[in-house]
Structure 1
Amino acid sequence: MGTLTKDQVMSTFEHLHANPELSWEEFETTKFIQRRLEEASCAVTVFDDCTGVIGDIGNFSGDVPVIALRADMDALWQEVDGALKANHSCGHDAHMTMVLGVVENVKNRSDLLEQIGIRFIFQPAEEVGAGALKLVEKGAVDAVDYFYGIHLRPHQETENGKASPAIVHGATGTIHFDISGDDAHGARPHLTHNAIEIGTYIVNAIQTIHLDPTVPHSAKVTRFEAGGRSTNIIPGSASLAVDLRAQTNDAMEVLSKRIHAVLDSARSFFGVDIRITEEYGIAAAEVHPEAQNVAHQAIVAVLGENNTTEPIRTPGGDDFHFYTIKKPHLKGTMIGLGCDLKPGLHHPKMTFDRDAMMNGIAVMTTILELHAKGETGNEISHN
């Protein structure tokens, strides 16, 4: 599998972990990865209106399949040890490290590079659910046949040393809205509508939404800002945000409509202006069985049958799935990598077994080898 060493992998990870950048601000990360891809003799594409970088290597004649590996690049903005900062608590530093490890493994493999085209996609802005759509718009996967991603999994989902051939993410959504009104003196509550009371009405109404209980779903307020330093002022304005989760795209559509109905009800009941300021979401996974089969074969080859788990169903989301939804010709799946990740994804002090990255690199390299040998389990229909 090439001459890649563990020390190289850890050095790459340490650099990326120590230099996190927020969504759409991955400027230095893009430059770092671009240099690494160019050093590996990849044909590199960068963009003049967004971060992100693509590296191509191998056979792009149109006569053989093109396989893409995707890694997300951005970090989260959160409080760590009392200070707000960019922080890689979702594992994107590890995802980039693993895909760069595959680059090193295959850059001199003529047996692979003659049989397939390989595209390495380093995507910005996954945390805001927008990077995948941007790269789809850029044509990043138009010439791609098979599409693979990888994501670290919490220890509650997947044990260290094991991996899953598919992560069946649910759909996610976010609705930000403002309640707008006038402040009033605390002694004269009849002169305004208390935005805290209106927000509380909305919070309680959301808790009365019930969908089919056999389909996992949730809706909860995750931001509520109102009032100021003076406690004798009744706040007329507030800002709230609601996080939505549903295992299927159909359930998410219903859930979103019910949230809109709650806001309409509050507008009517209180006679106030409630304005949606931002609304976005990520689609639920649509895993292709052929890609899942190849990933399964690769995990068995690297980790053994006993360490190959069933597909993971999770209410978490990932914009990886926009690629396969927007481009139905893609045969895609995301691999779930067990790595003793604790306490959990997005925890400011998330940790994982960094040695597990070697498993991820080996699995993705094996996926490319299986494609080069034509061992995908089905005939390839090239697009």
Structure 2
Amino acid sequence: MSTVSDDRTALRDGIRETVTQIAARHPRAEWLELARAGRHLEGMWQDLADAGLLGLGVPEDRGGAGGGLVEMALLMDALATRGVPTLHLILTGLVHAALVRHATPEQFERFVAPSITGAHRLCLGVTEPDAGTNTFHLRTTTRRSGEGWSISGQKTFISGADEARHMLTVARSRELSPAEGRAALSLHMVPLDAGGVELQALDVEILQPDTQFTVHLDDVELDPGSLIGTEGGGAGAMFDALNAERILAAAMSIGLGDYAVAKAAEYARVRAPFGRPIGAYQAVQHRLARAKAHLEAARSAMYDAAGAYDRGEPAGPRCTMAKLLGSEAGVEGVDAAIQAHGGYAFAAEHDVVTLWPLVRLLCVAPVNNEMALNTIGERVLGLPKAY
């Protein structure tokens, strides 16, 4: 049985307290205003940086705030529970997770240190128009060029590319990959202000203050220090990043579900069209209670998986289970809140249905829940491959 040190307990208490203060300065109303205007959470992001929270998961002796994926998840959970999550925090956490384990000291100073202070942002480039779940069949390719590399290809659904200085990019290594079949993958930090990079904004019907992009890469020159890990050996670092991403996505979904259920419970205590609060009726109360129970169960699974990741245990299947349970619980919570509010759920002043697209997205990405079930069936239950 694992125990939590006094230092980490104090860190977690500090995260909760600091998020409460930051969310009070940057409430849900501001989040909605910025999202509807297509603007970013600049003020809140800088407050997170100034409080040291962007350094969670980075060792203190390397300039971070300490802790691990558990603490990063706690930060996302706390923000989402207050209705002010940001996809960019998922990106920061997952890229940091990969770089803490695989970057050289020089790369760490170049890419991670400025991200901790808020001076630079980072994003992830994996998904392509013809390669979503099947990463090993992507088409973005690197080739050796002088002392470094050149990269060409296309990435899509890239959150926050307009704010990021570098994109941790998964690509096929031309010289090391077979003509057919499973590619040898390399990870490079691609500067998004370099020649040959073009950003194309996507019109995505999700209310949130992080814009999605297609990123076109046309013979972008990369220096030798861009390669994370070894050439052709990037799969391990990629899965370190993707497992962290699944935990942070679960934390966002669980937090949003909690936010929705709390709103619905407050509404159900005062809404009384027949003389009694609707929360007194089992049809309303039980659905919210069940959603809350499922959210807490998913939260426990999420923190358990994050703890396994932090301890260096093989955590892939547990992270996948946590993402599956967290996304389903979040959807259940928001759906229960919509039903409890009735028609008022669709009124802008009540801010309920606004939660639905974002929480529903988390059943599709990162990794859709059908593929999550395939992973659990094959790797946990030992069943034949189902796709």
Place the TM-score, normalised by the shorter chain, in its bin: under 0.3
TM-score (norm 2): 0.26
TM-score (norm 1): 0.27
Choose between structure 1 and 2: higher helix proportion: 2
Choose between structure 1 and 2: higher strand proportion: 1
Q: Which has the higher contact order (CA 8 A, sep 6+)?
A: 1
Higher-Rg member (1/2)? 1
